[in-house]
Structure 1
Amino acid sequence: MTSNSFSISGKVVDIVSREIINAEVCVEEGRITSITKRDSVSDQYILPGLVDAHMHIESTLLIPSRFASLVVQFGTLGLVTDPHEIANVLGEIGVDFMINDARKVPLEIRFGVPSCVPATKHETSGFVLDSNIVESLLKREEIVCLAEVMDFVGVIEDDLEVLKKIVACKNLGKKIDGHAPGLKGRDLKKYVASGISADHECSTLEEALEKISLGMMIQIREGSAAKDFDALYSLLETHPDRIMLCTDDLHPDDLIEKGHINFLIKRGLEKGLNLFSLLRAASYNPIHHYGLNLGLLQVGDFADFIVIDHPESFVVEQAFRNGVCIYKNKEVLFNVSNEIILNNFSRKPIQLADLVVKPQNGSLLAMVVKDGDLITDSILCTPKVIDSNVVSDVDNDLLKMVVMSRYDNGKPVMGFAKGFGFKKGAIAESIAHDSHNIIAVGTSDEDLLHAINTLIEMKGGIVAVNNGESESVELEVAGLMSNKTGEDLVREYAKMSDFASDLGSNFQSPFMTLAFMSLLVIPKLKLSDKGLFDVKEFRVIDLFKEE
């Protein structure tokens, strides 16, 4: 692919001077040589490419090159991705795969080094990235930051291993991303003082403003499970220089149906936000914060820009990278071809007896799950017992949940969740943040067994079952991603999702929500393959509690 020399005219959106001008943009050898005002131009808009400031490509279920060929149609030319998911499964091998696959496409895909692999010692993980490995990875040119430091307790309590990673990153002059939901006061001040400069976990204005006051950049997140845009969008007007936009975790069906960062631009305009503030958060701020190699539609910049019909509809007509047209007339103009199978999955099928929960004295301590929220609550419930086994209580929406290691044959661990709303069947997946063990929730032990053993036979993916029938999506790359095209994957996912929707849950994305029920660094109760976990106390606790 070589650079071109050409000119293009339209309404040029200059996010630096905050003006829209009728102009002709001249490109020579991949760089913008002039932007000249013209009296008459076409109605198309020319603007910088969009950037996702924090995401996990694995959550789209697509490998990086397949993801790139999908999002370019939405105007995305750059992103900062944390390969945390595949690193938990495959360690450095997984990180190498993501970087090498991203090199195949012309988008500006940069990476963070996962800072917490595993996230905690209270779960079984495939690999460990210690401070020596992290320091080595940070030296790679594709790496722009130490990715979300979830171990805020380690930072506050001066954990040596955590501090070594932070110091190594600071010595290399690279950014450090945060992950500190609800952290405030003295603890937050120490967390930020360590050098952590961005956070995507704010869910309230109060939390975001405190972090901004301490010098942090706030990444407003709108993914498939966690949605913070409605709560935080006013920051785009009050603090435009401190805001970036991100998706964090986005499922492929949401991506194709709604779009990517362009979706947030459209939503912001509907709320009356200023176009320049939105575009600044979607391009200028992340490009400067992370030092991305993307032009901003200025004379002398590389010719990285997109052409759209109008900001409010945001239909992308063309996309250019280094002066080369990479998308035009709904056609991706770069090739992607992959047949990679890369995995770490070692697990034998289980028996029905493995799912038995023996009743004990006291009430059952269950997690309360909410749609679109990673934070759970807790509730004491009366267990439903049949034949000395605590089973799902569908009438009271109290469902058995299972987490079990994919890396060995450790015994399944059971907990209970209230809120999913399934009336029949079960779902299971090998996407279970952060160690990506097997996680399932269901209305009966029989359906749970069917879902889990189907998943084991596939060696990873997503499964929905009911009364002996099932639909599934196989994820042959680490049990997290597929080599399929985005369109093919979404068709397969939609078929499974339609099957699952008949099971009764009213959650917008039950699979995405389930995947976070084992994330031990987000309050309040979670479930790991080692037991029910209290995030505040940061320890495994009993399933039954005497009142």
Structure 2
Amino acid sequence: MTNTNFLISGKLIDIVSREIIKAELEIKEGQIVSIRKKESVPDRYILPGLVDAHMHIESSLLIPSRFANLAVQQGTLGVVTDPHEIANVLGEIGVDFMINDAKKVPIEIRFGVPSCVPATKHETSGFVLDSNIVESLLKREEVVCLAEVMDFVGVVEEDLEVLRKIRACKNLGKKVDGHAPGLKGQNLKKYVASGISADHECSNIEEALEKISLGMMIQIREGSAAKDFEALYPLFDSHPEKIMLCTDDLHPDDLIENGHINYLIKRGLKKGLDLFSLLRAATYNPIQHYGLDLGMLQLGDPADFIVIDHPESFVVEQAYRKGKCIYKDRKVLFETNNDIILNNFSRKSILLSDLQVKPQNGSLHAIVVKDGDLLTDSLLCEPKIDNGNVVSDVENDLLKIVVMSRYDNGKPVMGFAKGFGFKKGAIAESIAHDSHNIIAVGTSDEDLLHAINTLIDMKGGIVAVNNGDREAVRLEVAGLMSNKTGEDLISDYTRLRKFASGLGSSFESPFMTLAFMSLLVIPKLKLSDKGLFDVEQFKVINLFKDL
């Protein structure tokens, strides 16, 4: 498809001047050459394409080109993505794959370089990205930032390797993204002073305001697991120039059923928030912050825009990128084909005896899991002992959780989680932030074994089992993503989710929540393939607490 010259008219939402005008746009060779006011225009709205300011495309379970096919239908023309997940599995090879696949599609997909691979030394990762590799990747033109610096301890304590990465990014004039949940006071000041300018981990307004006061941009996150919009939406009234919208991690069913950034626009309007403040957070602010190559519907800009029925319903009718129509009449007008198998998965099957936990004196430390929250609590619980082994206690919702390396045959590590609410069966996946080892939770050792070994046989994916029955989605790209079209993947995932919902959990997204139970940089208690991890003490602790 080549650039064409055309006219298009409607109610133009000008984010810069904060006004809506009836206008006709003239497009020549992909550029807006005139904007003429008109008395009568079609009953539709023309506005800049939306931007997700921080996400991991891997969490959509789709490769970038397939993800773009779904996202453009929701009005998304820009994404800043951190390929942190695939980098943990495949290193530079994985980052290269993501960048090259993204080039196949016309939406603006720009990258952050993963700053913490692995996230900590307390887990087994597929690769390590040191400061030399990070600096090399930062020089790529597709890169706009150093992605979420999770090692806030390293920043505060002036770890040289962490500071080298930040300095390399600043020397290139690119942004440094943060990841500092709960950090405050002098430590936060030192963190921000290092050059970190944005954060997506705020879960309450006080935390966000402190970070804003120090000059940070706040990325208001609403994904499949972490949901902060409700807590942070007052910022649209108080600090509209300091916020951006993002999803961080969004499963494909949520992307189709609820929408993408357009979903947050609709939610904000229902709360009575200002339309222009909402849209600036979804367009102008991230475009300016990261220097994205996206037009803002100004004279001389590239013709990047979407056409919708009305902001409150936000049905996308058309999408244009540099003057080319890339979506119209519910049809995506660009190709997305790929058939690559790319993985790093060496695990062999395990035995039932590998999952046994022998009792010790005292109570056990349980991970308290909450729906829609990456933060966990810690609770001392009495173990249920059966046949000389500590087992899942379904009646008291204390379920065995397992993490084991996918990169070698190290022994499985067991913990216990309270909150999932499963009454039967087990679930397992090779999506386990951030090193993406195998993680599972279940109501019996037998179901856990079935789920884990099914996952190993597939060399990655998502599994739910119950009493010999199972549903599974294979993820052939790094055990994280599928080559399938979004529609085909969602069909498979919907069957899996329906099967899993029959296991008794009330969680909106139990797979997404489980995936974060091994993320050792978010408090309080998590589990890695090296042991139960107390994030506040930043060390592995014993499963049992002595009396």
- How would you bin the TM-score normalised by the shorter chain? over 0.9
Give the structure 1 partner of residue 497 of structure 2. Answer: 497
Q: Does 1:177 align with 2:177?
A: yes
Which AA in structure 2 matches 1:356? Q
Which AA in structure 1 matches 2:356? V
Alignment of 1:376-455 (within 5 A): 376-455=376-455
Per-residue CA deviation, residues 13-46 of structure 1 (Å, 9 max, x unaligned), is: 0000000000001101100001110011111100
Q: CA deviation at 1:273?
A: 0.5
Per-residue CA deviation, residues 271-296 of structure 1 (Å, 9 max, x unaligned), is: 00010000000000000000000000
Give the structure 2 partner of residue 535 of structure 1. Answer: 535
Give the structure 1 partner of residue 112 of structure 2. Answer: 112
Q: Does 1:35 align with 2:35?
A: yes
Which AA in structure 2 matches 1:127? F
Give the structure 1 partner of residue 62 of structure 2. Answer: 62
Give the structure 2 partner of residue 524 of structure 1. Answer: 524
Per-residue CA deviation, residues 201-256 of structure 1 (Å, 9 max, x unaligned), is: 00000000000000000000000000000000110111010000000000111111
Per-residue CA deviation, residues 313-360 of structure 1 (Å, 9 max, x unaligned), is: 000000000000000000000011100100000010000000000100
Q: Does 1:123 align with 2:123?
A: yes
Quote the Cα distance in structure 2 between the aligned partners of 1:429 and 1:451. 9
Give the structure 2 partner of residue 260 of structure 1. Answer: 260
Quote the Cα distance in structure 1 between the aligned partners of 2:452 and 2:211. 41
Give the structure 1 partner of residue 293 of structure 2. Answer: 293
Give the structure 2 partner of residue 195 of structure 1. Answer: 195
Give the structure 2 partner of residue 472 of structure 1. Answer: 472
Alignment of 1:122-271 (within 5 A): 122-271=122-271
Which AA in structure 1 matches 2:282? A
Quote the Cα distance in structure 2 between the aligned partners of 1:34 and 1:278. 26
Q: CA deviation at 1:120?
A: 0.2
Q: Secondary structure at the match of 1:116?
A: coil
Q: May I ask how many residue pairs the two structures share in their alignment?
A: 547
Which AA in structure 1 matches 2:248? D
Q: CA deviation at 1:2?
A: 2.0
Quote the Cα distance in structure 1 between the aligned partners of 2:48 and 2:529. 45
Give the structure 1 partner of residue 348 of structure 2. Answer: 348
Quote the Cα distance in structure 2 between the aligned partners of 1:99 and 1:471. 32
Give the structure 2 partner of residue 544 of structure 1. Answer: 544
The unaligned stretches of length 5 or more in structure 2 are none
Quote the Cα distance in structure 2 between the aligned partners of 1:160 and 1:188. 18
Quote the Cα distance in structure 2 between the aligned partners of 1:344 and 1:284. 39
Q: CA deviation at 1:456?
A: 0.1
Quote the Cα distance in structure 2 between the aligned partners of 1:380 and 1:495. 36
Per-residue CA deviation, residues 54-77 of structure 1 (Å, 9 max, x unaligned), is: 000000000000000111011000
Per-residue CA deviation, residues 373-400 of structure 1 (Å, 9 max, x unaligned), is: 0000011111001121100000000000
Q: Secondary structure at the match of 1:354?
A: helix
Q: CA deviation at 1:4?
A: 1.5
Give the structure 1 partner of residue 312 of structure 2. Answer: 312
Q: CA deviation at 1:3?
A: 1.5
The unaligned stretches of length 5 or more in structure 1 are none
Quote the Cα distance in structure 1 between the aligned partners of 2:348 and 2:12. 59
Quote the Cα distance in structure 1 between the aligned partners of 2:224 and 2:430. 17
Q: Does 1:514 align with 2:514?
A: yes
With normalisation by structure 2, the TM-score equals 1.00
Quote the Cα distance in structure 1 between the aligned partners of 2:2 and 2:194. 43
With normalisation by structure 1, the TM-score equals 1.00
Moved over 6 A (4+): none
